[in-house]
Amino acid sequence: MSSATNEEYYVPHGTHWPIIGSIGLALTVVGIANYLHDTWSATPIFVGLAIIVFMMYGWFGQVITESLSGFYSKQVDATFRWSMSWFIFSEVMFFAAFFGALFYARQYSIPWLDGASNNDATAQYLWPDFEAAWPLLSVPVSEKFNEATAVMGAWGLPAINTAILLTSGWTVTLAHWALKRRDSTWLVYWLFATVVLGFGFVGLQGYEYVHAYQDLNLRLDSGIYGSTFFMLTGFHGFHVTMGAIMLTIIMIRAAKGHFTPENHFAFEAVAWYWHFVDVVWLGLFIFVYWL
């Protein structure tokens, strides 16, 4: 927590990227909402997303230029560190909402539907045939949902994916060490390995989804088990994809020689993010697949 400093703090003057980003965001969400109601085609969504990508490209490009020009002092660096940490914390809380839903369903709503706690009448009058279980395959109103026929096991693909992600956490650390000893070759190699593992994870996850839909009839609309399963793993998979894309960019920048042992916060930020994704996966593996 530095308070005293005699360094310079860079204060940019004017920027048009945010307004472009806002337009992109607004177009995307309005596009999605209209698409859901069949009032618009999907095109506006893609235009919106393209604007967002353009904005990120421009904005980050500007930040990279400024960084390479040496505008950023230690104090600016500290700002970036605080910001990235708290951004990750906000992501943690986003996942917490879905984990909360998972725990609530397992600990409360499903047992209650079967008469636990003060819900004897619920079971007696409303759901006499319902039996609490986790993972929940037969839901109270089976006609309304596509019930899954089997549970997604933990020790097949998910275990392999766990190993992949843990390994990738290790390779990104190796890349960091390479960076610190100015070994740009291994830096890029290890980053490449991480990116491959990351996309490999996403690919296997996709394969698992196909398996779930085709063989197990485990779907997003299979009741609360399917809901929590796909929302948690889906958002996680999305984050892995984002992380892998960011790692790819970092790899390209590393190959261009953007980072020095003293100045490589972009690398570290992405590495933090990658570790965060890793930790979330462990939570998923334990609570969604295993226990």
Partner 1 sequence: MRFTKLTKPGSVFLAGLASLFTMPAVHAEYALNMTESVTPIGRQLYGLHMLVFWICVGIGVVVFGAMAWSIIYHRKSKGAQPANFHESTTVEIIWTIVPLLILIGIAIPATGTLIDLEDAKTDAEITVQVTGIQWKWKYTYVDEDISFVSNLAQSSRDVMKDPIGNENYLLEVDEPLVLPVNKKVRFLFHSDDVIHAWWVPELAVKQDSIPGFINDSWALIEEPGTYRGQCAELCGKDHGFMPIVVEAVSEAEYEQWLVSKKEEAAAAASAAEQEWSMQDLVARGEEVYKANCSACHGVTGAGIPGAFPAMTGSAIINDPDPSAHIDIVVNGKAGTAMASYKGQLNDVDIAAVLTYERNALGNSVGDTIQPVAIKNAR
Partner 2 sequence: MSTEITHDTAHDEHDHHGPAKGLMRWVTTTNHKDIGTLYLWLSFIMLLYGGAMAMVIRLELFQPGLQFVEPHFFNQMTTMHGLVMVFGAIMPAFVGLANWLVPMMIGAPDMALPRMNNWSFWILPFAFAILASTSFMEGGGPAFGWTFYAPLSTTYGPDSTDFFIFAVHLMGISSVMGSINIIATILNMRAPGMTLMKMPLFVWTWLITAYLLIAVMPVLAGAVTMMLTDRHFGTSFFDAAGGGDPVMFQHIFWFFGHPEVYIMILPAFGVISAIVPTFARKPLFGYSSMVYASASIAILSFMVWAHHMFTTGMPVAGELYFMYATILISVPTGVKVFNWVTTMWKGSMTFETPMLFALGFIVMFTIGGFSGLMLGVAPVDTQYHDTYFVVAHFHYVLVTGALYSIIAAFYYWVPKWTGHMYDETLGKIHFWWSTIAVNVLFFPQHFVGLAGMPRRIPDYSLQFAEFNQISSIGGFAFGLAQIFFLYIVIKTIKGGVKATDKVWEGATGLEFEELPSPPPYHSFTQAPQVK
Contact 270/246 with Cβ under 8 angstroms? yes
Pick the binder of partner 1 from 41, 61, 144, 252 (CB under 8 A). Answer: 144
The answer to the question of residue 121 lying near partner 1 (CB under 8 A) is yes
Interaction between residue 68 and partner 2 (CB under 8 A): no
Residues 6+ apart with CB under 8 A from 27: 44, 45, 47, 48, 51
Residue range at the interface with partner 1 (CB under 8 A); choices 11-19, 23-31, 113-121, 266-274: 113-121
34 in contact with partner 1 (CB under 8 A): no
User: Which tokens go with 18?
Assistant: 């945010």
140 binds partner 1 (CB under 8 A): yes
Residues contacting 90, CB < 8 A, separation 6+: none
Q: Hey, CA dihedral for 57, 250, 271, 62, is it positive or negative?
A: negative
For residues 59 and 17, the answer to whether their CB atoms sit within 8 Å is: yes
Q: Left if phi > 0, otherwise alpha if psi is -120 to 50, otherwise beta: which for 70?
A: left
**Residue 268 touches which of partner 1, partner 2, none (Cβ within 5-8 Å per kind):** none
Q: Tell me which stretch binds partner 2 (CB under 8 A): 110-118, 148-156, 206-214, 241-249.
A: 110-118
Closer residue to partner 2, CB minimum distance, 215 or 221:
221
Q: Which is nearer to partner 1, 40 or 59 (CB)?
A: 40
Binding-site member from 96, 126, 166, 286 for partner 1 (CB under 8 A)? 126
For partner 1, which residue of 105, 113, 148, 251 counts as binding (CB under 8 A)? Answer: 113
Ramachandran sector of residue 14 (left: φ over 0; alpha: ψ -120 to 50; beta: rest): left
Query: Please, what's the b/e burial string for 182-218 (b: 16 or more CB within 10 A of its CB; e: otherwise)?
Result: eeeeebbbbbbbbbebbbbbbeebeebbeebbeebeb
- According to CB under 8 A, which one of 23, 159, 193, 216 is a site residue for partner 2? 23
Contact region with partner 1 (CB under 8 A), list: 114-122, 165-173, 184-192, 221-229: 114-122
DSSP 138: S
Q: Which of 119, 173, 248, 263 binds partner 1 (CB under 8 A)?
A: 119
Give 130 or 190: the residue with its C-beta nearer to partner 2.
130
Closest CA to 166 of 78, 282, 76: 282
Which residues of the shown chain bind partner 1 in the complex (CB under 8 A)? 112-113, 118-122, 125-126, 140, 144
